[in-house]
Structure 1
Amino acid sequence: MLTRPVLVFDGDCGFCTAAVRVLERKVRPRCATTPWQRADLAALGVRQERARREVLWVTPAGAVHGGAQAVAKLLMSAGSGWRIVGAVLTLPPTRWAAAGVYRLIADNRHRLPGGTPDCALPETASRGS
């Protein structure tokens, strides 16, 4: 049973790991963070295919938010001005734009600073999104 939200990310991806560490230091979200490779995905109610494709925010009640909406939930958990930024990311049309930007970054994370070939998504995952 979760007592606080969990952010699930790709621990094999240097870009993702670095981004989570920066968020922990600068934004200070109120959540646990764990690479999907070490998480009990079944207990979280998450399929491995989804965890490989996008960052996930899992609430203690079992709700799962992915991609840009997971980032929005993380920001809202931090309080202060971050809460406002996160809330804006949940509203149309910002929500739609955020989803597009998130997918662009996720599909190209192996090309970003800290990224490695291990960061590349499988072809079927990136096309199926």
Structure 2
Amino acid sequence: MRRRAHSYRDDPSVPLFPDDRPVIVFDGECIFCSGWVRFMLRHDRQARYRYLTAQSPLGQALYRHYGLDDENYESNILIEKGVARFKSDGSIRTLAGLGLPWSLINVCRILPAGLRDPIYDLVARNRYRIAGRRQTCMVPTAEERDRFIA
């Protein structure tokens, strides 16, 4: 769902949150998704991104705000400069934000989302089958805690 930049600021159901840096909202119970965040934490040496679990009250409010299922998180959300990106577009932009060599992924943007997103959807629908599910959300280490929005 396309909305104007920072539209969540005008939605009373979305709590205020720091959005001065890009925010990645992810399924904290999904081992595959948590692995993605661990990868990002390891390679995001500039600490460019903040992270938020979809299961948190803020995460659920953002999923509802963008018209996504707030119980079955089949797309991560990248919020950058107030604009939300979903599915393959969000993932490509997230990786590209890490700089070289990861920014080479931008070449995939020449493919229309109509070709990229079905692959994303296939993985998203089967993510628990592929990697499993945690009983609780991913817990950041003490060193990582300041990169997460509670």
Q: What TM-score, normalized to structure 1?
A: 0.71
Structure 1 residue runs of 4+, over 3 Å off? 26-29, 41-48
How big is the shift at 1:32? 0.8
Partner SS for 1:65:
strand
Taking a change above 3 Å as real, the CA distance of residues 4 and 92 of structure 1, as seen in their structure-2 partners, is: same
Contact 1:27 1:75 in 2 (8 A): no
| 2:111 equivalent among 68, 88, 92 | 92
Counterpart for residue 41 of structure 2? 24
Higher helix share: 1
Aligned with 1:104 (options 122, 125, 128): 122
Q: Partner of 1:71 in structure 2?
A: 91
Partner of 1:37: 55
Q: Displacement, 1:26?
A: 3.7
Q: Within 2, Cα distance between the matches of 1:27 and 1:4?
A: 13
1:116 equivalent in alignment to 2:133:
yes
Q: How many percent of aligned residue pairs carry the same amino acid?
A: 26
- CA distance in structure 2 between the aligned counterparts of 1:96 and 1:32, rounded to whole angstroms: 28
Q: Between the two structures, name the one with larger relative contact order (CA 8 Å, sep ≥ 6).
A: 2
* Shift in Å, 1:47: 4.5
Give distance in 1, aligned partners of 2:41 and 2:92.
14
SS in 1 for 2:103: helix
Separation in structure 2 between the aligned mates of residue 49 and residue 43 of structure 1, nearest angstrom? 10
State the structure with more CA Rg: 2
Structure 2 unaligned runs (5+)? 1-17, 136-150
- What are the ranges of 5 or more consecutive residues in structure 1 without an aligned counterpart? 119-129
Amino acid at match of 1:56: I
Query: Aligned partners of 2:19 and 2:57: how far apart in 1?
Result: 12
Which deviates the most, 48-57 or 75-84?
A: 48-57
**Structure-2 residue corresponding to 1:11:** 28
Q: What amino acid is the match of 1:38?
A: S
Distance 1:97 1:8, change over 3 A: same
Letter in 1 for 2:107: V
Q: CA-to-partner distance for each residue in 1:53-84, whole Å, 9 max, x for gaps?
A: 21110113x21110111111111110112112
Asked if structure 2 preserves the Cα contact closer than 8 Å seen for 1:54 and 1:106, the reply is yes
TM-score w.r.t. structure 2 length?
0.63
**Are 2:29 and 2:134, in contact at CA under 8 Å, matched by a contact in 1?**
no
The one-letter code matched in structure 2 to 1:100 is P
Q: How many residues align?
A: 114
